[in-house]
Amino acid sequence: MSARLRKLFNDLAETFWLLPGLLVLAGIGGALGLVMLDRRGLVGAGLLDSGWLYDGGATGARTLLGAVASSTIGVAGTVFSITIAALSLAAGQMGPRLLRNFTRDRSNQVTLGAFLGTFCYALVVLRSVRTESEGAFIPHLALSVSILLAFLCVGLLVFFVGHMAGRINVDTVIELVADDVRETVGRLARPEPAPPPPPPGFWRDATPVTDPRRGYLQHLDETGLADWAAAKGTAIRLLVRPGDHVFPGAPIALVTRPVAGVAAAIRRATALGPQRTSTDDLEYAVRQLVEVAVRALSPGINDPHTAISVLDRLATALCELAPLHLPGGTQWREERVALAVPPFDYDGLADAMFHLIRQSAAGNAAVLIHLLGTLAAVLSVEGDPERRATLRRHAGLVLEDAERSIANPADLGDLRRQHLAVPRRDEDAAPRRDD
């Protein structure tokens, strides 16, 4: 799938108005269809006499539909107000970049869409009701469905209040963002080792390719671009990866043999946007989770338990990554390099996870001790020597910061003992990974 098409689908999936708009159209279409059935007399007299359908007069029908329409649009405003209040609370306490977890919530969209769809349904049915002086038409089937929709809206309102009360819970938000991290890791990581990169001098005489666009690289069609380069007998080295900002007029790639249409091919294979997304950007998904911990450790909030919960999720993601390989960024075609993209490396991923939390937790012994504990847990399942060296490096940085910022000897002693529990050598509790 091309990068621009993926971007379109991703933007539609995260759009707040799409599902409510579809439900409004469904309400209008359903009302027109049911009224048409009533006009054609497909509802038998036996069914009307059974008591399952509305059997009142035109005045009562108009009163009923007016009550349904006025109440649903009023409650829809309340639902919208509650959603805005939840968004404001989330932006203030957990960061504005987490608002997408609320706007893309299908439960919120369905609730708002159900109330608006019922409102439109009631209006469309109301316009078809006629009294005796106007021609006597009462859409019994459509009126009965409006009563069912009203009861459905009552149930959705109760569900929505409970859902939002749980959704703004910080642990729920952390778990949602952690799910994004795990989903991104599962999509990008591979069980087999990545193809090797070309020799260091491979790109020495490559020609730069500039790009007039601006924005963050959100989606990249690596397979399509590699196939194009192989077909043209050249190799392309992108200088950016998903999550990087593309500056207008700056080089975006290098090409070993200039060919016609290379700039257009790169534009077709890349989709830019005004903000980063977590679809193909592993570090951005991690930084969203880290932002929750950093805000929790700020003096205005001072909530170390939230930071500890974030550390648990980050360590879980690294443990799940232990048997997998991050993408190397090199695409080969017929034993020739076709495309190279800056890879996501383990060092950069660990730095994105732990640097800001460690720096923000300076002087907080509880968080630093837990950080060492999570590093020891990841080391117990990680068998790659280079990754283990990265984890031990972060454990050393934690100890150095603690010795500078923690004045209490008892707290510092606890932290040093926790640091001693971190495996020092690859032979200490180091499982081997089968490549």
Per-residue pLDDT of the chain (435 residues; tens, 9 = 90+): 567 777 777 777 777 788 899 999 999 999 999 888 888 776 655 555 556 677 778 888 899 999 999 999 998 888 888 777 777 776 666 666 666 666 777 888 899 899 999 999 999 999 888 877 777 788 888 888 999 999 999 999 999 888 887 777 778 888 888 888 888 888 888 888 888 888 878 988 899 999 999 999 988 888 899 999 999 999 999 999 888 999 999 999 999 988 999 999 999 999 898 888 767 788 888 888 898 898 888 887 888 999 999 999 999 999 999 999 888 888 898 888 999 999 888 999 999 999 999 999 988 999 999 999 999 999 999 988 999 999 999 999 999 999 988 888 998 899 889 988 887 765 554 454 544
Domain boundary among 106, 134, 168: 168
Considering the domain architecture, whether residues 26 and 94 belong to the same structural domain is answered as yes
Report which DSSP code applies to 391: H
Q: Does any domain span residue 394?
A: yes
Amino acid 389 reads: A
How far is the C-alpha of 163 from the C-alpha of 82, rounded, in Å? 11
> How, if at all, do strands 336-340 and 215-220 pair?
unpaired
In this prediction, residue 7 carries a pLDDT of 74
Contacts of 245-250 spanning 24+ positions with Cβ under 8 A: 245/214, 245/215, 245/216, 245/217, 246/211, 246/213, 246/214, 246/215, 246/216, 246/217, 246/270, 246/272, 247/214, 248/211, 248/212, 248/213, 248/214, 249/210, 249/211, 249/212, 250/210, 250/211
Considering the domain architecture, whether residues 416 and 393 belong to the same structural domain is answered as yes
Domain boundary among 168, 199, 219: 168
Considering the domain architecture, whether residues 382 and 305 belong to the same structural domain is answered as yes
Q: Does any domain span residue 205?
A: no
In this prediction, residue 430 carries a pLDDT of 47
Task: Report whether 83 contacts 102 (CB < 8 A).
Answer: yes
Q: Does any domain span residue 245?
A: no
Considering the domain architecture, whether residues 24 and 158 belong to the same structural domain is answered as yes
How far is the C-alpha of 236 from the C-alpha of 252, rounded, in Å? 10
How far is the C-alpha of 237 from the C-alpha of 264, rounded, in Å? 15
Domain boundary among 135, 168, 201: 168
Q: Does any domain span residue 256?
A: no
**Edge-to-edge strands, sheet with 207-210:** 207-210, 251-255, 236-238, 336-340, 330-333
Six-digit token string for 415:
């932290």
Q: What is the pTM of this model?
A: 0.79
In this prediction, residue 97 carries a pLDDT of 66
In this prediction, residue 426 carries a pLDDT of 57
Find the domain containing 39 and state its range: 16-168
Considering the domain architecture, whether residues 26 and 59 belong to the same structural domain is answered as yes
Q: Does any domain span residue 173?
A: no
Q: Does any domain span residue 187?
A: yes
How far is the C-alpha of 255 from the C-alpha of 235, rounded, in Å? 6
In this prediction, residue 236 carries a pLDDT of 93
Q: Does any domain span residue 263?
A: no
Considering the domain architecture, whether residues 407 and 324 belong to the same structural domain is answered as yes
Considering the domain architecture, whether residues 410 and 301 belong to the same structural domain is answered as yes
Helices (H), 168-211: 170-188
Residues 6 or more apart from 240 whose CB is under 8 A from it?
Answer: 217, 246, 252, 342
Residue 136: Cβ-neighbour burial (10 angstroms; 0-12, 13-18, 19+): exposed
Considering the domain architecture, whether residues 146 and 80 belong to the same structural domain is answered as yes
Considering the domain architecture, whether residues 163 and 291 belong to the same structural domain is answered as no
Q: Does any domain span residue 433?
A: no
Considering the domain architecture, whether residues 309 and 365 belong to the same structural domain is answered as yes
Residue 104: Cβ-neighbour burial (10 angstroms; 0-12, 13-18, 19+): middle
Report the number of distinct structural domains present in the chain.
2
Considering the domain architecture, whether residues 62 and 33 belong to the same structural domain is answered as yes
Considering the domain architecture, whether residues 97 and 187 belong to the same structural domain is answered as no
